[in-house]
Amino acid sequence: MFSVYISQAERYDKALVTAWRADMKGILIFAGLFSGSLTAFIIESYRTLAPDPGATTILILAQISRQLNGSTESGVAAISAEFIPPTSALICNGLWFTSLGLSLASAVIATLVEQWSRDYLNRSDMRPSPIERARICSYLYSGLKLFRMHAIVDLIPLLLHMSLLLFFAGLVAFLFPINSAMVVVAAAILAIVTFVYVALTIIPLFVANCPYRTPLSGVFWRIGQICAALSSTLRRHASCLSHSMGEVMLRRATAESTRRTERDKRALCWTLQSLTTEKELEPFVEAIPQVIWSPTPPVRRDKHDHLLQTLIDDSGVHLGGRIAALLRTCENGLLEESARQHRTVLCLKALLAFAMTAKVPNSLNFPFEPSTFIYLSTTCYPPAQPYIPALRACGVWSLFCTFITNVERLVATCDAEIGAGRDARIDLILPALQKAIQLHREYTRARDVCLLPQRSELDDLINDTYAFRTHALSQLRYLRQILQRLLDKRAPVQLDIFRRFLLDSARSECEPYSFEKATEILRPGDASASAASDNLGLTFRAIVNRFKQEETINHIDHVIGVYLPLLDSTVDDKSENHISDALISYINRRDLLEAILRVLRDCDVDQVWVRVTRRLSDRDQLDDVLTAIWRLCDLFLDPAFSQRLASIPLHRFVDTASRLPPVSQYTASVDTILRTVALYAAQSIHIPIVIANDPSTVESSLTELEYLSTTSWLPSIMEEDLEDPDLAPEASPFEIRTLHARLRRTRLALLTEFIGACTSYPLPYNAIQTLAHIGSVSYPIPSAAEPLELQVQFLQQLRAIVKPANEAILQTILECPFVITLQWTDDTAVRAMRTTLDKAMLHGQQLPIVLDTLNRLPPVEDADDISAWPGPPEIVHDE
């Protein structure tokens, strides 16, 4: 911290001492020349203060001559009388000697100031320790302020100025007895100098940016401050009037006003005009993004828009053309690679900063050059690739927003002219119409990246000038209709630009620059506009085809996540097929769960489910559809997705299960995981909502649970527990336990059924993961055991799994939290479980989980042999 203080203090002290030394050198030079000139005048003037010996000699000789001639006149008294110098001589010499004294004093003080300044710098640099140096600097500067050395420095030129004024006054007195004409000349010079000096002293007191001032200006300023502070009317403003002249100048220079704005515009225009080379222009262009956007987070700064618009519109500056020309120099092959990369990036960032200001009404009208869009479409330069998608889309959108802004103004003008009840002023309409046509041409040229803009109805209308002037009112109404159609196309145009932007971002080989901010700017506000687009489905399929498998979330995942919400309102059957196929392809190919979670974060998950399951009727890709359904269910069972699962009605899973093909390797797994998801949603989402009795959601959750209780494949979930809709808020712990017990029994039956499916060959799709999902939930320890028939069915299927080939399946089953929390209170079931695990040990499946399960079983007494239990038939597996 003290090192920072030292660096700032040393910079301030060196600047201060350097300024003092420069002033003192000038004062010493002027004082020396002035003192020498003044001495020459004093040599001539001081003689008038004493009797002239020559005059005395002449008088004596004249006396002798008269005596020799016998004259009787008494001249001895005149000769011997005391000499009295003339008044003019006294005034002249007094003024000149005073002036010489002041001049020499200023020279002496200036010499001392130079010495003091040197000593001040040397003393502050005597110790190496930063803390000690900082304390010495602070101590010396406090002495500088205490003894008012600044005032002493300001006093030196004041002495010299007074010396000069005294010299001119003495010159008048010197010439007074000699010649009246010369006196007039000298007096005029003195008056002029005095008047100019007084004016230079007073003007800075009223005009803060006046470049002229004298040492007396500060004195008069302080006197004025004191008078103002003592005034009864201004006493309350004394604190405001206590500022120095420098502080007042700074406050007036930075205070917001129209004059300050004009000064800023002139300064920036002059700056751009003075930057004649590309190298000089680079720092200015590099600073533009920070003027428009704050770095982190990217927040729009609009307080400098008027300055930027001046630079854009000024014919002598033409900022847009300068940036485009600077970008073109990157392709001339004359720059080194590092310089080319630096210039390319700063130009693209500056253009993107302007492009991302697009909105209606547009605050910045930036005229993007056609060459810029041609460059964006043709360049293959790698450092430029991250900026191309956002810049191309936002640039086109910026031009369109400028066009729409002018169209809205033109519509308002047309409405005013039509409703005025008089002849329309065509001369007021035609310039605005011509400007709108020009903006429309620029937009279409940029959108299509061609040099020939498309022709519009506006061109045909303005070409027939005779009809426009002859039938002004009818033509205005026709123009109003055309303009309204253009305004109605705003949402579809924005959607098309956004669609192209996402497609370009997906095609990019690297992470697009400022993707999130560009998405926020370009995303359409009217969701219904997507229903009218025929290209959304094909574009989505093209984006998914660009997908590359990576271990982290990449930019294509972000693009798909942004694109999916656009498809929520799509109704076209052909587009629906493309969307469904692309969704199935992405879900099956993407191995990273976090990526799929990111993709589905903002979209309608129920719509995604419907689009995937609607392809079950397509037998050509049945396996892909079933795989996608299983992977979606796998995603739904993730805790991070549990809140989104509430948006999918439970009947979706029931309906999907009813439409599964009867024979498929995927059927058993998909059917089982569908039921597991329904159980998970009932237990983790809907039952807690009912218990919490939230009025906004409890009714829908009750409906979902009641529907689930009526299904044929989950009949025992809620036969009694939710007969009364008001049961849940007052539900006793026993009733809640009963509800969880029924859920647990249904899950045990589901687990038993799928274990039976695993005894067949080949195994169901993702059998181990499906088993893990079924048993992933641990229930509170029940007060009663599971029904004996369920225990028997489970152990029968478990015995069939106990084979060396099914070691992984057995381990998965025994490690499930659901199986671990099961309590086998029936002695027969416990003995059967022990026998099954002993069989596993006998077959070489000596897994640690087998031993742990044996240790957790309660001890039982010997009983009848359980070999009479019917078991599943042995399955012979083909090699």
Q: What is the pLDDT at residue 859?
A: 73
Does residue 546 carry a pLDDT above 90? Answer: no
* 43 neighbors 112 (Cβ within 8 angstroms): no
Tokens of 449: 């990246």
Q: What is the pLDDT at residue 535?
A: 79
Q: Max alpha carbon distance in the chain (Å)?
A: 188
Cα–Cα distance, 782 to 679 (Å, whole number)? 18
Does residue 343 carry a pLDDT above 90? Answer: yes
Q: What is the pLDDT of residues 649-672, one digit of tens each?
A: 888 898 898 888 877 788 889 999
Tokens of 503: 């497609």
Residue type for position 825 = T
Q: What is the pLDDT at residue 869?
A: 46
Tokens of 8: 């700032």
DSSP-assigned letters across all residues of 758-783: TTSSSPPTTHHHHHHHHT---PPPPS
Does residue 250 carry a pLDDT above 70? Answer: yes
Q: What is the pLDDT at residue 682?
A: 84
**What percent of the chain stands above pLDDT 90?**
18
* 522 neighbors 497 (Cβ within 8 angstroms): yes
Q: What is the pLDDT of residues 194-240, one digit of tens each?
A: 888 888 888 888 888 787 778 888 778 878 877 777 765 545 444 44
Tokens of 746: 């249904």
Q: What is the pLDDT at residue 723?
A: 43
DSSP-assigned letters across all residues of 439-474: HHHHHHHHHHT-SSPPP-HHHHHHH-HHHHHHTHHH
**Residue range 454-482: average pLDDT?**
68
Does residue 80 carry a pLDDT above 60? Answer: no
Q: What is the pLDDT of residues 25-67, one digit of tens each?
A: 888 888 888 888 888 888 877 777 766 666 667 777 777 777 7
Does residue 362 carry a pLDDT above 80? Answer: no
Average of per-residue pLDDT values in the chain: 80
Residue 532 per-residue DSSP state = G
**Residue range 243-260: average pLDDT?**
80
Does residue 247 carry a pLDDT above 50? Answer: yes
DSSP-assigned letters across all residues of 336-391: -HHHHHHHHHHHHHHHHHHHTT--SS-S------HHHHHHHHH---GGGGGGHHHH
Q: What is the pLDDT at residue 669?
A: 92
Q: What is the pLDDT at residue 837?
A: 79
**Residue range 141-157: average pLDDT?**
85
**Residue range 329-358: average pLDDT?**
93
Measure CA 659 to chain center: 50
Q: What is the pLDDT of residues 778-797, one digit of tens each?
A: 765 554 567 777 878 888 88
pLDDT band at 339 (very low <50, low <70, confident <90, very high): very high
Q: What is the pLDDT at residue 673?
A: 93
pLDDT band at 557 (very low <50, low <70, confident <90, very high): very high
pLDDT band at 284 (very low <50, low <70, confident <90, very high): very high
Q: What is the pLDDT at residue 863?
A: 43
Cα–Cα distance, 339 to 565 (Å, whole number)? 42
Q: Provide the angle, in degrees to the nearest 10, between the axes of the packed helices 130-146 and 149-175.
A: 40
Nearest CA to 588 out of 765, 812, 754, 757 is that of 765
Cα–Cα distance, 592 to 876 (Å, whole number)? 37
Q: What is the pLDDT at residue 454?
A: 56
Does residue 867 carry a pLDDT above 50? Answer: no
**Residue range 294-307: average pLDDT?**
84
* 818 neighbors 779 (Cβ within 8 angstroms): yes
**What percent of the chain stands above pLDDT 70?**
84
Does residue 528 carry a pLDDT above 80? Answer: no
Q: What is the pLDDT at residue 719?
A: 41
Of 711 and 731, the structure prediction assigns the larger pLDDT to 711
Nearest CA to 634 out of 766, 740, 819 is that of 766
Label residue 497 exposed, middle or buried (CB < 10 Å: 0-12, 13-18, 19+): buried
Where is average pLDDT lowest: 584-593, 634-643, 804-813? 804-813
Residue 730 per-residue DSSP state = G
**Residue range 161-171: average pLDDT?**
86
Q: What is the pLDDT at residue 507?
A: 92
Where is average pLDDT lowest: 88-92, 176-180, 418-422? 418-422
* 45 neighbors 177 (Cβ within 8 angstroms): no
pLDDT band at 132 (very low <50, low <70, confident <90, very high): confident
**Residue range 547-566: average pLDDT?**
88
**Residue range 512-534: average pLDDT?**
77
* 426 neighbors 469 (Cβ within 8 angstroms): yes
Where is average pLDDT lowest: 76-85, 412-421, 687-696? 76-85
Does residue 377 carry a pLDDT above 70? Answer: yes
Q: Which of 389-403, 659-673, 813-827 has the highest mean pLDDT?
A: 389-403
Q: Which of 48-62, 231-245, 484-498, 823-837 has the highest mean pLDDT?
A: 484-498
Residue 601 per-residue DSSP state = S
Where is average pLDDT lowest: 385-399, 705-719, 806-820, 858-872? 858-872
Measure CA 343 to chain center: 22
DSSP-assigned letters across all residues of 291-319: HHB-SSS--B--TTHHHHHHHHH-TTT-H
**Residue range 552-576: average pLDDT?**
85
Q: What is the pLDDT of residues 722-778, one digit of tens each?
A: 444 443 444 444 455 666 777 788 888 888 889 888 887 788 899 999 999 998 887
* 280 sits in which H/E element: helix 278-292
